[in-house]
Chain A
Amino acid sequence: MRASPAISLARGGVSVRYKKAPILEASLEFRWQPERPLDAIRASAGLHAFSEFEAPKERKLVQATLDLQGGEISHESKKVGFELALKDGSQIVIIESDKFVFVQRAPYDQWQTFSQRALSLLEPVAASLGVSEFSRIGTRFVNRIDIPQTDGANVNTEDYITVSFSGPRTDKGVVHEFQMRVVKPTLKDGISYGLGVATSGSLLPDHTSIILDIDVFTEGPTPASGGVFAKVLSEMRDEKNEIFHSCLKKPAVDLFGGVEE
């Protein structure tokens, strides 16, 4: 397996916005310890900051256990928090006893808009719950690149991405399905990433899709506000961009319809 830099866009803090950005979903997650009581979570979901959102829905954790040898099935569920969504479903907020998640569904605009919106919703929640430090911060971008199959020919994914399969055998024919996921530290202290790459079906006729699922996260405590917090977020964003562009070759970028000013 290899992943080497292919093009150099959006580096050094320079931002680009593609006309047809392949981002399906972008999210920012903030975790804290210790867990807060459900009543406090319920109160934070009712804050004025969420007045635009539909009424909160409860979130439940369902745990099911199947004892294969004993032939027994058991399950239990417990309330863990609340989920709020805009009416058009474009933004979702999840507040649970140990985390806050902001999700922006496609179309995605740009990091500044995305992060500012997330932080404007996070700040009153953190204040109401008395959170001054995050135990983990994560940002995850799920991308899907739809690739046309010219004249019905198979798509060679190596033409588009720098991640490829290098298995012990060649055999014959083409790969029908590919999935890979790796988690490792970045060069920046305390920041790691998970990268998922997979082929996928596409809505579009005669297309094959590649999923790039990028999750950049911290592995130590971070202050919940101030300069250090801002720096960590900025570094995470840079890492996310670097990983994304390192995975792509020019024909993939060409599918994004050019760059918007």
Chain B
Amino acid sequence: MTYVDTGRLGYGTQASGGSSSFADTVVDGFRRMLSPGQAGRVVLKVDRTRSTGTDRERRLEEIQRFISSNSMHLPKGFAVGLNGQFANMMADDAWEEVDAYPSMHSLETFLLMLLSTKATQRPGIGTNGRGSITAFWRDGENRLTIDCLPSGNTRWVLTRVNAKGEVERAAAECQPDRLCEVLNAYGPEVWFGQ
């Protein structure tokens, strides 16, 4: 028997009380009861427990949960470190409320970029205020900035001192899975590590 593709399962039992990504979806299913009401009426009753919080706090939680759930594919310590960076970036006293929150599509692009480049050095992060997530590395004069866009593309710009001591600059847009190849000409290990 072969399965492909999927629907997302949710979850069942009690444990995380609605905090799980899978729990949220499935718990809803199990908490939903279809029952005959009085006078033969059909009544759909839904119970859901959730924590209060601002939209920004919920988005941060969503981001941290998504990063955690893919931590097994990242270098050791990356997930916890990135989650701390996002918490700092989206903290009360750091966030400009006029900015759009980092989008989940951008976050997917961001993680795919990290997986594709096999970076072992964690980037600094930022946002352009329009939902994208920016990753940047710096080693002296060598700088690389990658914008991870909600469209699934990356837009990057770099400054690199070559073997002759000359400063080279480059910029382009590509899919995350192409990054490794296109950056290879610039000795990306200076940013990503070995």
A and B: bona fide binding partners: yes
User: Nearest Cβ in chain B — how far from A163, in angstroms?
Assistant: 11
Q: Roughly how many angstroms separate A239 CA and B51 CA in the complex, as a whole number?
A: 31
Interface residues contributed by chain B, number (CB under 8 Å): 59
A57 touches B44 (CB 8 A): no
B17 touches A63 (CB 8 A): no
Residue of A nearest to B175 (CB): A205
Complex partner residue of B5 from A80, A164, A201, A205, CB under 8 angstroms: A201
B2 touches A59 (CB 8 A): no
Q: Roughly how many angstroms separate A66 CA and B47 CA in the complex, as a whole number?
A: 12
A209: chain B residues at CB < 8 Å are 6
B2 touches A200 (CB 8 A): no
Within 8 A of B (CB), among A49-94: 57-70, 80, 83, 85, 87-90, 92, 94
B165 located at the interface, meaning its Cβ lies under 8 Å from any Cβ of chain A in the complex: no
With A58-B52, A105-B65, A203-B108 known as contacts, the answer to whether A64 contacts B46 (CB < 8 A) is yes
Interface residues contributed by chain A, number (CB under 8 Å): 78
A63: chain B residues at CB < 8 Å are 45-47
A142 touches B20 (CB 8 A): yes
B115: chain A residues at CB < 8 Å are 204
Residue of A nearest to B20 (CB): A25
A139 touches B1 (CB 8 A): no
B45 touches A199 (CB 8 A): no
With A69-B40, A89-B87, A213-B22 known as contacts, the answer to whether A194 contacts B3 (CB < 8 A) is no
A106: chain B residues at CB < 8 Å are 68-69, 71-72, 79
B9 touches A60 (CB 8 A): no
B68: chain A residues at CB < 8 Å are 24-25, 89-90, 105-107
A142 touches B23 (CB 8 A): yes
Q: Roughly how many angstroms separate A61 CA and B7 CA in the complex, as a whole number?
A: 27
A194: chain B residues at CB < 8 Å are 12-13
B43 touches A156 (CB 8 A): no
B121 located at the interface, meaning its Cβ lies under 8 Å from any Cβ of chain A in the complex: no
A181 located at the interface, meaning its Cβ lies under 8 Å from any Cβ of chain B in the complex: yes
B16 touches A27 (CB 8 A): yes
Give 10 pairs: A residue, B residue, CB < 8 Å, sorted on A: A20-B72, A22-B72, A27-B16, A59-B49, A61-B49, A65-B44, A66-B46, A90-B64, A175-B1, A177-B5
The list of the 6 closest CB pairs from A to B, nearest first, reads: A140-B15, A198-B9, A89-B64, A27-B15, A215-B13, A199-B6
Q: Which residues of B contact A (CB under 8 A)?
A: 1-9, 11-17, 19-23, 26, 37, 40-53, 57, 60-61, 64-65, 68-73, 76, 79-80, 83-84, 87, 108, 111-112, 115, 177
Q: Which residues of A contact B (CB under 8 A)?
A: 20-22, 24-25, 27-29, 31, 57-70, 80, 83, 85, 87-90, 92, 94, 96, 99, 101, 103, 105-107, 136, 138-140, 142, 144, 146, 149, 154-158, 164-165, 174-179, 181, 183, 194, 196, 198-201, 203-205, 208-209, 211, 213, 215, 217, 257
A106-B71, A157-B3, A165-B3 known; 7 new pairs, CB 8 Å cut-off, are A60-B49, A65-B46, A96-B17, A174-B4, A178-B3, A178-B6, A205-B112
